[in-house]
Homo-oligomer: A and B are copies of this chain.
């Protein structure tokens, strides 16, 4: 005969069964009162709810996930937490998903596909109902993991062919548009400052090159590329490199506003007049860009909206509906200000 004492592992937490005993009903009925209130009589439901409140019952998500094979959670992977571009993305995601009862498992990859793979592996153990991921530069193993798990996945920020779900903008087009703007202003020796060198930066660079090429204004000396993470301080440093390498440069397209702000601050320090001596353009339209002196010409990107729409698309996929369109281009805007 068994003399084992039952394990008590739930840390003293009240369980469904205890609520049931307290009310004089069964666990499954309490479960229904919580998840499908309309299927339980008003009288019983009222007593259950009061017991839940007085006993301080909290559902156990692990048990629920195990029994139902749904976790009500979505994994969201972004390259960096310390870049407001991506935290705004997260806010759009959160505003949609929280309203539908999902939790977000946030992971930042530090711009590393290997780190991303490790995070995906870790988060798949939680059986997320969906995955939101930034860009398309996943490792083969990551792609394999995602497809094997059959989790619906929506990519953010960039766009690809219609074999994947994505919400974003054409980074290449945006790079091209900004360069065209500078050309239309009459600048001809247009440099490019690139940091981090993630895929989106490289696409902007390609757009920049294409625009210059089409205008017969190739200017290779004006390209400064540095894989270091972007920052204002790096912008200061790269401007120094540029001025040595291409002193006749008359306009500078920075791959993002952080670099551009650093450039503006350093120009001010060195007494370089912007835009008269050097025009400066950025990318992303961060909060500071509209207020700095001179105000910064940049590309406005709809980060919040991208997160919002990507979450909405994922919501459809999780309901086994087919989103239409499957690839959503939310565009960008060239915001012309004083610096060009």
Contact = CB atoms under 8 A, between A and B. Distances in A.
A265 interface: yes
A273 interface: no
Contacts of A58: 121, 124-125, 149
Interface string A207-244: 00000000000000000000000011100100000000
Interface string A247-278: 00000000000100110011011000000000
A76 B285 CA distance: 29
A1 interface: no
Contacts of A12: 150
Contacts of A127: 11, 13, 60-62
A206 to B, nearest CB: 28
Contacts of A261: 288, 291
Given A58-B125, A66-B60, A287-B231, A82 B91 contact: yes
The contact size tier of chain A is 35 or more
A251 to B, nearest CB: 21
Contacts of A231: 287
B233 A61 contact: no
Given A71-B62, A127-B62, A287 B91 contact: no
A126 B84 contact: no
A69 interface: yes
A87 B91 contact: no
B293 A269 contact: yes
Contacts of A125: 58-61
A65 interface: yes
Give 4 nearest A-B pairs by CB, closest first.
A9-B69, A62-B65, A81-B87, A62-B66
Interface of A: 9-13, 56, 58-63, 65-69, 71, 81-82, 84, 87-88, 90-91, 94, 103-106, 108, 121-122, 124-127, 144-145, 148-150, 231-233, 236, 258, 261-262, 265-266, 268-269, 287-288, 290-293
